[in-house]
Each structure stands twice: as C-alpha cells, then as structure tokens.
Structure 1
C-alpha cells in the first residue's frame, strides 16, 4: 500500500505525540544529578592538588641538589647534604692575562674561632675539678662532736697541774713519763670524751688530744679542708702533716690532715717544755 508523504508525516506526528511513549524521570533525579556533579568536582580538585604537591616536591628536590650563591667577588658552592663548602674567587679575566689557577681551600679544617661572628671570643675551657684535698672553703661549718675550746677541753684547762685535774672529776691513767713531762689518758665526767693529755712538771697541762672527732668554735672539725682552715684562721701555717692555727695568744690548734680532710685536732700550749 502506497501512502503519500503528507500522510506519513501525519502518522509520525501522531505517534510521537502519543503520551504512552513518554518516560517520566524518577522523583530523585535532580538529587542524583547534583551528587554526581559534586563527586566529579571533588575528584578533579584532588587530582589537581596531588599534581601540585608532586610538582613542588620535584622543584624542592632539584633546588636542594646544588645551591649556588653568586656574588660580585666570588662564587660559593654548597652541596645539598651539607658535607662540603668551598669559596672560589672569580677568575682574573683581565684582557691579555690568562686566568690564574685556583687552589681549592680545605673545607674541614676551618677554625671555629675564625668563623665566629665579630665580638665573640673563643670559648673559655672549663676549670678542672677540685680534688678532695682542695674543696671550696665555703662548705658548711663543722659542728659535730664535742667542742675543743681555745683554752681547754671540758673542765680541763691549759696550765692545770695533776692535782687540779684530779679536782675536776678527771681520772688520769696509763702514765708514760720522761724527765719533765708525763703523758696520760684522761677520762671521767669532767671531759666530754676520753683524751690524751701531756702534763709538764713546770708548765702544767700543755697538750690535749681528744680520742674522738671534735670541732672548734670557728667550725673546723673532721673533714674540714686546708682551705677551710686557712679561711677560718688567716694566720694559720702549714706544718708537717697538717696545719697549725693560733687559738688565742697562749695556745694553738694542730690539725692533722689526710686526703679526706682533718682527721685529728690537738690543743697545745705555746710555752712548754714537752714534745708535741
């Protein structure tokens, strides 16, 4: 059956206008389209960011490989790892003269003092530690043990005779006598601790050496250093095995020292006829 072109056109128009052929969009079509557009936009931004970071990393790596500082008077070259640095003067390019050969300067022997900024001097070496026998004189004063006074020990006083000592509740024992003097062991309630004493027939009690660690009124005692003794007694003098310091006008302290400091203290009369 042959139909004309006009009739065919009319049939096609009627067919396309038929509502049964329409495909209505789903209710959430708009939301889906917007979400898809947002995902594509985020992906595009992420790709751009990664590309930028990669480009920056490449630029930094290339820049750190070699840093060259060109100045008017020379060229400084420093490796990226910091292991080498050299300074080369510009070659003499005066017309008619060949460039002078440059001698590389050693890079690992530069003096710290030469590289220090102006006004900063070389560092001062730390002072050596003091030995045990030269500790500072600012240590705390010694107050442990009984007091050995400048004129005696407990109730004992320099110049006392044997009878005077006995009257002070002090017992004298173990005598060791010579022609003019006798060494005793002194004990009793009249003394804070036992002591060795020397009594002269002519001058009376001339030496007191306590058997325990004592201290003086100036804070010198067991463990005190020579510097502490000299600080407490400016007129003190070194003696064989220790230091002798004045204790008033009629007596003196004899401090015996070892590497730990004072280990024994004696009080002696200045005027005597007995051996110390």
Structure 2
C-alpha cells in the first residue's frame, strides 16, 4: 500500500492533534521541580566543602612534614613569628663553596618547641645527683671483741672447771648464795675481766676491764644514738642502755659524758645480780 507524502503528513498531524495523547502536568509539579533543584544545589555545596577541607588538611600536613625534616637535618630554624629561614648546615660551609641562598620556609601561626631527647647530655646534666642517707651511724670499734656468746675462750654457760681449763686463772672470789664473782685473767682472754659464775647456770656475766667493742661496731665513746642505731630494740636502763645480743644474752652499755664507758655481756636467764 503506497501512501503519498501529503497523505502521510495529514495523518501524522491528525495523530498528534488527538487530545488523548496529552499528558497534563500534576498540580504540584512546580514544587517538586524546585525541591529537586534545591537538593542538587545542597549536594554540590557539601561536595565543595569536603574537597576544600581535605585540601587544607593535606597542605597543613605537608607543611609540618617539611618543618620536621628541616629540624632534623639542621637546615631550617623557626623564628618567633612562625616564619622560617633556611640555614646551611656546617658541612655545606666548606672552603670554595659559597652558602646556598636562603629561601622562605613554610609559615605557621603556631610556635613550635622541640624538646631535647631523653638521652641528650643536656637532660642528664639537669638532673640533681641522688643522695643516699646512711642507714646507720659510723661504727666505733675499739678495744677487744666482746662477742654475743662470750669473751675470748670463755663462753656463757661454762662451769668454773671449764673456765680454768681454757688457760684462765680465777682469783679474788666473792661468793654469794647462788653465784660467785671472780677476777679472770690468762692467755685464754684478750684482756682481764670480772666474771660471774652461777652454781646452776654456769658463766652468766662477763665485764672486761677495758671497754670492748661488739660485733655491731659499738665500742668506747659510742654515743647513745649510735647504740640505738645498731640495736633498734635496745631499751634504756639506769645509767645506760640494754640491747639484745642474742636470744640468750644481752649487752649492758654504761654511758658517760664521752659515750660508752663500759660494756658487759650477761645471760638473759640467770640467778645472779645484774
């Protein structure tokens, strides 16, 4: 079927003129179009703001990295107002080589302080030297040793026969009901002494005629503070200080104007006068 061009044009005009093909716009078409345009405008502004913030962060990070690198190799020094001047390191100032021209460095509105590393000589030098207080006062070892269990070859608990068997001579006995006091001397003793022998407990007291020193370093002239420092459990007694020597004995220190003037060793359990 052949249709002429004029007839085809007439049919097309009639088809396009048909009201059934018209699509009337909805009543709120204008409002919807304006709202969509506003949404697109807000998205565009948000994208531009994010891009600007990211660019600023990258610029600041790059500037701080350059400052740190310059500070590490000694080629830049920050001034008080935040500007930087490039300074050649000492290695570049060699003979025949002029210093490189200074170039402006990165600027900043914040002051930068570089702390000295912990191991630097400056930080170590600023630390005051540690001082330690002595735990005890200096010892005063003078005279023969009066040990915690006896004097020379004499040991607490020995009978009179055992004492004389140690090359010790006993003289000038002064007897009592339960104890006898002797003057002891001989090669078994480092110095003469006055001793007390109990009939029940044996040798219970030794007092050297010279001021002896203890194993803790308390001797002639030791002060009260030195005695208390050496024997924290010591107690004051009439005219002196009593300090534990062992579980079975104790020291009796007689104090004078110059400090310790007499030291005795006595058994804790005894029936003789102190």
Following superposition, the deviation at residue 213 of structure 1 comes to 1.5
Equivalent residue number for residue 264 of structure 1? 262
Equivalent residue number for residue 227 of structure 1? 225
Residue among 151, 154, 157 paired with 1:156: 154
1:198 aligns with 2:196: yes
Distance 2:135 2:269 in 1: 31
Equivalent residue number for residue 239 of structure 1? 237
Contact 1:154 1:191 in 2 (8 A): yes
Distance 2:135 2:270 in 1: 32
Contact 2:156 2:205 in 1 (8 A): yes
3-state SS of paired residue (1:230): helix
Distance 2:189 2:140 in 1: 20
Contact 1:137 1:227 in 2 (8 A): no
Residue among 206, 213, 222 paired with 1:208: 206
Per-residue CA deviations over 1:157-201 (Å, capped at 9, x if unaligned) read: 000000000110000000000111000000000000000000000
Length, aligned pairs only: 141
Distance 2:177 2:267 in 1: 19
Distance 2:266 2:136 in 1: 27
Contact 2:184 2:193 in 1 (8 A): yes
Distance 2:135 2:205 in 1: 28
Per-residue CA deviations over 1:77-121 (Å, capped at 9, x if unaligned) read: xxxxxxxxxxxxxxxxxxxxxxxxxxxxxxxxxxxxxxxxxxxxx
3-state SS of paired residue (1:176): strand
Contact 1:137 1:228 in 2 (8 A): no
Following superposition, the deviation at residue 238 of structure 1 comes to 0.5
Distance 1:231 1:146 in 2: 21
Contact 2:137 2:229 in 1 (8 A): no
Equivalent residue number for residue 67 of structure 1? none
Structure 2: unaligned runs, 5 residues or longer: 1-133
3-state SS of paired residue (1:202): coil
Distance 2:174 2:251 in 1: 23
Contact 2:157 2:203 in 1 (8 A): yes
Distance 1:225 1:163 in 2: 38
Following superposition, the deviation at residue 140 of structure 1 comes to 2.7
Per-residue CA deviations over 1:100-159 (Å, capped at 9, x if unaligned) read: xxxxxxxxxxxxxxxxxxxxxxxxxxxxxxxxxxxx996531122100000000000000
Contact 2:138 2:226 in 1 (8 A): no
